Every structure is written in C-alpha cells, then in structure tokens.
Chain A
Amino acid sequence: MNTHTQLATYNFAYLDEQTKRMIRRAILKAIAIPGYQVPFASREMPMPYGWGTGGVQVTASVLGPDDTLKVIDQGADDTTNAVSIRAFFQKVANVAVTTRTADATIIQTRHRIPEETLNEGQILVYQVPIPEPLRFLEPRETETRKMHALEEYGLMHVKLYEDIARNGHIATTYAYPVKVEGRYVMDPSPTPKFDNPKMHKSQALQLFGAGREKRIYAIPPYTDVISLDFEDHPFEVQSFEEPCALCAACDVYLDEVILDDLGGRMFVCSDTDHCEKRRADGHVGPLAGETAETAP
C-alpha cells in the first residue's frame, strides 16, 4: 500500500487546491447556517456516485497531514466501502488511519454514527445520497428551496401522518427528518433513527456531503437537532430485545447476522470498533465463544 511515491503527480488528498478552497467555503457557509443545503461544484471522483463521492470531497477538503482518519460503512470499519475509501486517502494523502473512534480526528461514515460519544475537535463526515428531505413529496427543486426559505414544513408532517395512518406508528426508521437549531428541516442521511439523538448537542462538528446532488450541509457543535414527531406519537428510537451476542452491550444498534440455513441468527453491534473495545475490556456476550473463530 505504501505507494505514495508513485503518486507524486497527485495533489494532497487528490483534489486540487482551488477545488478544496471552493468546498471549504461551502462548508463554512453550511456551518454558519446549520441545516441549510449549500450548493457546491461537486467534482468527478475516481469512484461511482453512490459510493460516497460527496463525503470523500468533504473529507479531502478538511483533511490535513496530521489528521487521523477513520472510515465506517454501516458502522463497520471492514466493509468494502470503508476499506476502499480508507485506502484511497492513505494513497492520496498519506494520512494516518485508525479504526478506533476515540483516536480519529475525522470519521467519514455511511449510515451510522459511532456508539462512542464524539468529542470536541472531531469531525464526522456523512455520505449523503439524497439531501432534500422534502424531495419525495415535492419533486420541484424551485419549490423545495422556497419551502425551506419560508419555513413551510407542513409537508414533512404529511409524510409522518401517512406513516401512522398506514402502520399505526411512525414507521420511518432511517433518514428520519430533524429540525436543526429550530430552523431548517434536514435529512440526516440514511442513518437509523436510533442515531438521531446523538446528533443533538453533539460536541463534534458534523458535515454532510452529497456528491451527485451537489449539496453540502452541516451541524456545528452543540446545535439543537430535534426529530420531528406528533404530540400523540412522539419520536422513539428502535429498541432491541437482547444485548449484543458478542459483547453483551445494551442500548446500541444491532445488526442481524444469519448463522446458517436453519434459521440460526444472532444480533451483534453494528459498530465493530465499539464491540471489539468492549470485548477487550472483558465483556462477553452469550454467543461470543461459539463464534470466536469467525469473529473479526
């Protein structure tokens, strides 16, 4: 992997300096107006749309030589998307990488927020497929921009109403809309709604990049992020009946893992780093022994 010498013709972190300046300006504007979608001149990246081109451009623009980068995909450090992006930045920026949440200065994520509370100085970069929370109800961009400008968010509740009417409860489980600092309604990207409370008053800076849609938005540290709901159907996060099968953690987001073709399955932490850390600390889940040889 140590091939940076062969890449001398690439600028640091792949993007040219003018592009990074342009993106940093967009980021600064996004931080100044929490939750507001700032258009930016998204570049072609050496990966297809849908693979995190927005997040990668944001990361490339805020990344410095002294940073330590962690990349997760659905909470895991070892999935294809995470491994590829981590390798990409190792190659084009030669930065230190880690899987440990606490050690990272920048964490690029797809679909999760780490279980471990983030701290001041850390930056969480989200990969966003569709930044516009109103899009599925109002297809016209001119109209959705006007709705944001005028704070016309009744439509957002129409979506939640439909959920309750159809399912008896708010069935939206991911990309659950939030209101940022009492002003802009924002799509938190397809993270499970389980993670929504972590965005509220987070000490870390949260940046969102949508490459195909050419939008950047942000939540500065210590910002109010409130999930939309009804008085008689208040916002609730998912709860799990059993703890993590490997580390016995409760109150974390679990993934279902199919063990065989006989219906065997287990639920384990989606945040692999969190799980490993707990196991290293001596926490043992009910199935930890049986799967020790296959566990990562």
Chain B
Amino acid sequence: MSDHSLLRVNAVTKFYGSRVGCRDVSFELWPGEVLAVVGESGSGKTTLLNAISTRLMPTSGTIEYRMRDGQFRDLYSIGEAERRFLMRTDWGFVHQNPADGLRMTVSAGANVGERLMAIGDRHYGNIRGSAAQWLGRVEIETNRIDDQPREFSGGMRQRLQIARNLVTGPRLVFMDEPTGGLDVSVQARLLDLMRGLVNDLGLAAIVVTHDLAVARLLSHRMMVMKDGNVIEHGLTDRVLDDPREPYTQLLVSSILQV
C-alpha cells in the first residue's frame, strides 16, 4: 500500500433542510483499499457516497482527492469540467441498477468504448479491441460485443457496467449496492469477479451495501452508519467479529446463517 492516501474526507455533513443526511464524516482512503459503508436504508450511506463522488454538494466539509500529478485538490472547488473529466477517467461509479450506469440502447462494445472515445481515442480498431478484452475480463462472451445490454441478464449487465467503468484504468471506484437485486449465485460470481479485479488492478473502492456478507468479502475496512452518523469504524473482520456499538451488535446478530 502506498504511503499517500488517495482521498481525504473531512467533516462532511449534508442536511436536507433540517433533516440530517450524514453528519461530520471523516476518513482517509489509501490506494488499493476497499472501504465498505454499511447501515440500513436511510442511514445516510448513499448520501455520503453521493457527497464524496461529487454528485451531491455537502452542506459543509471538504473532500480532497490526490490527482495523478500527486497534488491534493478539493473536489468542490475545482471546475465542473475538471470534475467531470475526473469522474470519467480516474473514477468509476457502479450503480445498483445497471440501467442507470449503462446506455441501454447502444451495443456492449460501445458502452465499454465510450470512456475511451471521451478521452480522445479515435481509432475504431483499438477501441473495439479494448472493449473485447474487457468483456473477456468480466466474463461476457466476446461475440456479444454488438448486442445491446437490454438483451443481457441482470448479472451480465452489472458485469458490463463494471467493464465500462474500468476501461480507463481508474484509481477509485464507487459502488452503490453492486449486488443488490441479483440472484445469490449471480451475486457470488460478481463478488468474486470484483474481488479479483480490485486485487489485480490495485483499485481503491468505496462500497455502499446493507449486506454484511458482501462487506466482509470485498472490504478491508468498514464504517457502520446510523441516522447519518458513523457509529463504528474499523477493520472489517474486527467490526464484524467484535462489534462494539449496540447497533452494530444488532446488525451482526441479525445476519442469517446458512
């Protein structure tokens, strides 16, 4: 792991009117590190994810990101053009619903190739080659490259969304309930794939999930949120095996055993 963190979140607070979205959240994320944010619906985890990923301006607090030049920049003080460029090159965002992250009416190949074209790749053959290679990596048959994602199953769509995000070699990926709504067997395959990709590519990731098994499998570190506050934060297996807070104990004790 690198000595320099990639992301610094300082006292991020988001109010919706007088209602708290998330309150005073601070943490650092290092390259290659996967952080799981867990909590039940309405606990503020998605608010936090959106605030960090510059999709929702926080009421107060700063989010600093170490750019490829090694300099930390406050994400809400850089220009929108630079921010959007960052989002489509150095970052990925995997939505729970693949339709939110894919273009459903263009081919799988174009879905993967879009980011390359957006950063100026103008060689059709190379773009297609990269797309085919990425489809292979996410275990989609290369002969489906010209099919549209609406012809794909849920699991395939989610894998395509991942490929689309990773093609530019991002350093940070946000995932919002990436396995939500998938069959258990499909989930397992996806988790295994994500785990492998995160390891191979040295990705840092922030995974929002209410599924503690997903958190255990994917993450190094875990934050537990309740009512907009981070109530417990630590090594994933420590939080799950020795939960300290009443709410965390309740969460852990509520896991269904198979």
Contacts and interface: CB of A to CB of B under 8 A. Distances in A.
**So, do A and B actually touch in the complex, CB under 8 Å?**
yes
Interface of A: 137, 146, 150-155, 157-158, 161-162, 164-166, 229-233
Contacts of B117: 154-155, 157-158, 161
A224 B132 CA distance: 35
A247 to B, nearest CB: 38
A187 to B, nearest CB: 18
Contacts of B119: 154
A230 B88 CA distance: 21
Contacts of A162: 106-107, 110
Interface stretch (B39-47, B120-128, B203-211, B215-223): B120-128
Contacts of B123: 230-232
Contacts of A155: 114, 117-118
Interface residues of B, number: 23
Nearest to B115: A154
B110 A158 contact: yes
Contact of B124 (A137, A154, A230): A230
B146 interface: yes
Contact of B118 (A152, A166, A230, A233): A152
Given A137-B106, A158-B103, A161-B109, A233 B114 contact: no
A232 B113 contact: no
Nearest to A228: B122
The 8 A-B residue pairs whose C-beta atoms are closest, nearest first, are A154-B118, A157-B117, A230-B124, A154-B117, A150-B81, A231-B123, A158-B110, A161-B110
Contact of A165 (B110, B114, B122): B110
Contacts of B109: 161, 165
A154 B124 CA distance: 13
A137 B103 contact: yes
A154 B89 CA distance: 12
B84 interface: yes
Contacts of B114: 154-155, 158
Interface string B124-162: 110110000000000000000110000000000000000
A145 to B, nearest CB: 12
B131 to A, nearest CB: 9
A58 B106 CA distance: 36
B80 interface: yes
Given A158-B113, A232-B123, A165 B81 contact: no
Contacts of B127: 161
Contacts of A152: 84, 118
